[in-house]
Amino acid sequence: MEPDDLFEYDRQVPLDAQVVAQWGNPPLNKLFKVTFRAGLQRRVTGFFALPPKYQEGTRIPFIHYVHGWNLYWGKYEDLCIDTIVVTTHFGYGCLLLDNPTFGEDFDPAVEPRRFAGPYATREWMMQTVIACRRGLDFLESRPEVDASRIGLWGGSLGGYVGSILGPVEGRYRGVALWVPYLFRDFQRHTDGAGRWANPALFLPRLSPRPLLVGLGRDDNADNNRYVRELLDGLKEPKKLIIYPEGHRIEPKTYGPETLEWFAREAFATP
């Protein structure tokens, strides 16, 4: 079995997408809570947001943001909200989904075992990548979305997800990884279950699509060193930004630079 095989899914399963709530107050002027089917039994919940000045009947670029180690609402929810606000006020749409076992899918019985070694991580990564790919199916079904201009932006744990999801899923025009946490031992395995969790086996395949990596200067030094070594071995186009921060990178402060990068490097050419 090739590593990609684990992340394939049945595209004939109906999405059964539903909008279950919506809001229209600043700064989240056009925010929709959505749910759709990720597989035969699982449903994914998330948020679909449009710019304040979105014009009906137009198709716009979208950013699919993959969140970090949040319990979503109630823990680091401000990072999620700020990312949606910055993205939509830039003029792009934003899709932000609950990762499996996080947010509304959180299960306290599962949480301690979520990353308990290579097998548990493989299982979680498989579910997460497939849920995200179904998120792209959802975006393609929406009349507001320019499906030729969808970018992937992941932070922390979401950066780890993006390091595998981005190369596996060719519909993303560009990938931005903020403070990706890639330092666990089993993330470096090249055989057994660990190979499905090893970004070094996936990221080299992203080129010629562009890659942006943002690291915090004062973040974990060992993780930063490993990410930079991995980045050094990748082909162009790629860009590294070092922020004068730790592990928390504020979307309101640094997000516009990343969105400008998407506009210039990922969305400018057909």
d(CA 121, CA 114): 7
Euclidean distance between the first and final Cα of the chain, in Å?
A: 34
Taking residues 145-159, report their average pLDDT: 96
The domain segmentation of the chain, as residue ranges, is: 3-266
Would you say residue 262 has pLDDT above 80? yes
Task: Indicate the fold that domain 3-266 takes in CATH.
Answer: Rossmann fold (3.40.50)
Would you say residue 225 has pLDDT above 70? yes
List pLDDT tens digits, range 20-44: 999 988 877 899 999 999 876 688 9
Residue position matching structure tokens 């950066």: 159
Taking residues 209-227, report their average pLDDT: 96
SS3 203: helix
Quote the strand ranges of the chain, DSSP E.
18-25, 28-37, 43-50, 60-66, 93-97, 145-155, 174-178, 211-216, 238-243
pTM: predicted TM-score of the whole model, two decimal places: 0.92
Confidence of residue 111 (pLDDT cuts 50, 70, 90): low
Would you say residue 73 has pLDDT above 60? no
Residue 15 phi, psi (nearest 5):
-65, -35
d(CA 61, CA 70): 26
Give residue 250's Cα distance to chain centre: 16
- Quick one: pLDDT at residue 127? 87
Taking residues 209-215, report their average pLDDT: 98
